[in-house]
Amino acid sequence: MHNQNVLVTGGGGFLGRAVVRKLLEEGARVTSFSRQYYPELCHSRVAQIQGDLADKKAVIQAVCGVDTVFHVAAKAGIWGKRDDFFRANVTGTQHVIQACLENGVKRLVHTSSPSVVFHGGDMEGVDESVPYPERYHAVYPETKAMAEQMVKKAGAGGLDTIILRPHLIWGPGDTHLVPQLIKRAKTLKKIGSGKNRVDTIYVENAATAHILAGKALARNPDLSGNIYFISQDQPVNLWQMVDNILACAGVPPVKGAVSARSAVAAGAVFECFFSLLKIEKEPPMTSFAARELSTSHWFDISRAKKDLGYRPEISIEEGLALLAASFGSKRRE
């Protein structure tokens, strides 16, 4: 990536910042495209363009003169207006693809999610051949699947693309998973048997996979359109991992349990109630969350190892130590 002009959408976000750091280490000239301004990026010699992915003209201007685009930005979450998810994840991705094609950009690395293939049950050791489900239980995975398919199609039509599916990204600076766990720790209960195993990925490892994808695509354009699961390559007990993350923040472990059936039913009731009353804040539980928290979902990353040369550099134990240290420094402040 040395001397390349690179654009990162969502460069101020949790994963985006990590991707930006890795690119700077590689000697790339980096520009971030985000809706807001991030002072910490300015201090890192990163050019910033403020704009919305739904603004096609702004995206086309941002992509001008760029060699590679890392499309990391997305609207995540398990609750919200369908139009908001569609606008960010589908329309936004469409604009990124169009901007790349119009500006003659060589490569696009797209951040997707394993949730695009989640069918509501256990997924153990599956690879990239697993099909999309017949129906989705939340708007986020549905819109991310639509975006993913557009990028894959573009990969066969004039733009070299790679799609990455990092699962449960965590680490210092997390603005989504870790804060949500801490916020709900007192009321959170184990759902199901408590024996389900999942893949996770430490944020720096996820960022490294993105850099490797960009390099692999430059070396071998025949990889264009490929999809890759990326993870720690070490499935863990979900609830033990939750307790480990909470311990990093000095929060007690999860206590109590409910059956998966009860949690799914409760989630459906909450969704109906919140929708009818047009309550915008996230319900205490949704049917999608209940299914994700009560099932196993871990993936075969052999393809990423073979094609991208990906290996997790930071272990779960090392990552947890770094996460704990980040909370310790905050407490001392």
Catalytic residues: 140
CA atoms within 13 Å, Cβ hemisphere of 189:
12
DSSP string, 53-118: TT-HHHHHHHHTT-SEEEE------S-S-HHHHIIIIIIHHHHHHHHHHHHT--EEEEE--GGGG-
Are the CB atoms for 72 and 12 separated by under 8 Å? no
In sequence order, which residues have a C-beta less than 8 Å from that of residue 316 and are 6 or more positions away? 200, 202, 232, 234, 236, 241
In sequence order, which residues have a C-beta less than 8 Å from that of residue 128 and are 6 or more positions away? 226, 227, 228, 229, 303
- Rounded Cα distance between 76 and 149, Å, is 18
Three-class HEC string of 251-281: CCCCCCEECHHHHHHHHHHHHHHHHHCCCCC
Q: H or E stretch including 320?
A: helix 316-332
Which residue, among 155, 120, 71, has the nearest Cα to 267 in the 3D structure? 120
Which residue, among 187, 166, 163, has the nearest Cα to 176 in the 3D structure? 166
Distances (CA, A) of 98 to 33, 73, 91, 220: 16, 16, 10, 22
Burial class (CB in 10 A: 0-12, 13-18, 19+), 9: buried
Q: What is the dihedral of CA 178, 184, 189, 192, to 10 degrees?
A: -50
- Rounded Cα distance between 307 and 198, Å, is 23
